Structures are given as C-alpha cells and as structure tokens.
Amino acid sequence: MARRAKITGTGMYVPERVVTNEDLAKLMDTSDEWIRQRSGIAERRHIEPGQTPSDLALAASRRALDAAGLDASDIDCIVLATLSPEADFPGTSFFLQDKLEAGDTPCFDLRAQCSGFGYALSVAKSFIEAGQFRRILLLGCEVHSTGLDFTDAGRDVAVLFGDGAGAVVLEANEDASDTSALLEIRLHAQGKFAKKLWVEAPGSGIAPARMTHELIDQGRHFPHMQGKFVFKNAVTRMPEVLIEALNATSLKLDDVDLFLFHQANLRINDYVAQQLEIPPEKCLNNIQRYGNCSAASIPILLDEAVREGQLERGQVVAMTTFGSGFSWSCAVARY
C-alpha cells in the first residue's frame, strides 16, 4: 500500500483585538459601506503590541497537536508558510520551533504568499509519500498589521488584511481501509506579474542597506497592489486550477463536499462559485470576520469547517488559492 498523507489535526488562532471598518475609518478616508461592498469584510484581527507571529503560530499549533493527540516531540518536521516573517531571517518557524520546545526538529519557512499553504501542503505531501517524514506540522501564519499604511495613501490595501495563524498536522496513512488522504495538489506561478502585488523594500537588491530614507518617505516598504488586475486574474486562475486538480483525480465538481477558497475578496469567491455553478452552501467564507490572512486563510477556514462539523471524515474538500507572485494552487483531499 502506497504511503499517503492524512490530515489528523487542525487548529487556528487569531488575536483578541477586533478592528472594525469603523475603527479604520477614523484613521483614513474610507467607510464601512465601501469596505463591505467591495470586499465583504466587516472586521479583522490585529495583534497587541508585543505579540509576534510565532505567538499566533504557537497557539494554532497547540490546538492542531491536541486535535491529533500528539505532542510537539512527536513531530518530524515543521513547515510554516508566510509572507510576513518575524525576522527577515531565519523567518518565523525557528521561533515557533523554540517555543514548542521541539528539540532539533527540522523547520523552515516557505514563501508563496497567499498560495503559501497550498505550496506547503504539496511539500509536506511529498515528504510523507517519499517516506522522509511521518508526521509534519504545517502552518500558515501572518502578521500584516505591523506592515500596512493606515493613511489615505494605503487605504486600498490596509483595509483588506488581517492577522492570524492556522495549523494542520499531516501524518502518514498506511491503513488500506482508511481513505483519508491528500489526493492531488496543483501549483502554478507567473513571475511576470510579481510587481502587481508586492512589497518592494527592504530588499537585498537595494544597496547599500536594503532600505533608504527615500523609499520609506515614498511608502515603498508597504504593500502595493493593482487591485483590478489582481481581481481579474484571481477569478480566471482559481476555477482553472480547481478543475485541473479535480481532473487529475477521478472526482467531479459534484463529488466535492466543501470548497475553501482563499479569502481575499468575497466578490471573487462568489463569482468563482457562480461560474462553476457551485451551490453557495458548499462554500465556506470567513473573510467577513478576519479579512485576508494570506497564507493563514485556508488553514483557519479548514479548522473552522472541522470544528463546526462542516467537514466530516470521508468527505472531499477542495482548497484553492490565488495571490502575489502571482501564485495559485488547488489541493483536493479526502478528509
């Protein structure tokens, strides 16, 4: 029997501090009506001063480990997807590994922005199927709030993003009678559009110090996005990769019990579902409460689906992403 990768535990954590659209309207020229209409977002979470990405990741990890009935010492490898590392290097995963007291367990950060969790699932699936590791702790973790421009100049991006972490434990499944497995994952990227959604500085190509006062004065250390262009690509690529991943299995759209789409914009997800004639009750969204948590969006959504009984053992879930890079992906799993 071939070794397959099975999701055995999920967990999530978002900071306590709720930031409403009205709160943001006090800082910049925006409104609750604009944000809700254009994105579906009502509120998001921001960290408290002193809280770090690895704190969020730790809380999500503990919940996922509990759900899997494991301790950190049982884990063979930690993979953490993020675009907002705790430090430029070594990233976030090493701080998490230390807080988990995980000994010398290997860990690393993976960067594929809002598609980071899809890419990380693919890496973990390969590790397990190849026999390198049996138990992997996988995270998507973002702290956006410390890197956004909360003035009028940044309003198109700042209102969209939130902080949070989601975690999944993946284990080798060698039981022929147990059908739970990551079935298929498809990954894509298009670097020619890297600058359509990016943070330019600090960057190692910028001499002499990776950052200049001028760049800061120009706000080029904040994310910049050509929103409409990104939107158009998202609504094309997400259905494309979802169908591609399903075609690689013996499953059809109707066989999927739950669709989890990256949480960038409720309008994007509604449009994709409509295009594919997916019934709304099969799509789960939480962008209304958390905003766009980039790599953390899918694992947070997955954990909520499991805990609220919307995803049960034996059911099929399709997780589709799109984001900066551009990068996009779809993972199909039998939970």
Six-digit token string for 107:
């860990």
Cis omega before residue 239 (within 30°)?
no
Active-site residue, 293 included: no
Nearer of residues 133 and 231 to ligand UT7, judged by Cβ? 231
Instruction: Tell me which of 47, 114, 141, 260 binds ligand UT7, using CB under 6 A.
Output: 114
Is 81:109 a contact under the CB 8 Å cutoff? yes
Active-site residue, 77 included: no
Active-site residue, 292 included: yes
CB of 297 to ligand UT7, least distance (A): 8
CB of 284 to ligand UT7, least distance (A): 17
Is 190:41 a contact under the CB 8 Å cutoff? no
Nearer of residues 133 and 326 to ligand UT7, judged by Cβ? 326
CB of 265 to ligand UT7, least distance (A): 4
Q: Are strands 107-110 and 43-46 parallel, antiparallel or unpaired?
A: unpaired
Nearer of residues 234 and 306 to ligand UT7, judged by Cβ? 234
Nearer of residues 61 and 265 to ligand UT7, judged by Cβ? 265
How many chain residues are in contact with ligand UT7, going by CB under 6 A?
Answer: 20
155 makes contact with ligand UT7 (CB under 6 A): yes
| Helical H segments across the chain, by residue range | 21-25, 32-39, 53-68, 93-99, 116-130, 155-158, 213-217, 227-247, 266-275, 287-290, 297-307
265 makes contact with ligand UT7 (CB under 6 A): yes
Could you tell me which of 135, 125, 117 has the C-alpha nearest to residue 77? 135
How many other β-carbons are positioned within 10 Å of the β-carbon of residue 89?
Answer: 7
Instruction: Tell me which of 74, 156, 240, 257 binds ligand UT7, using CB under 6 A.
Output: 156
CB of 126 to ligand UT7, least distance (A): 25
What positions carry a catalytic annotation? Answer: 114, 262, 292
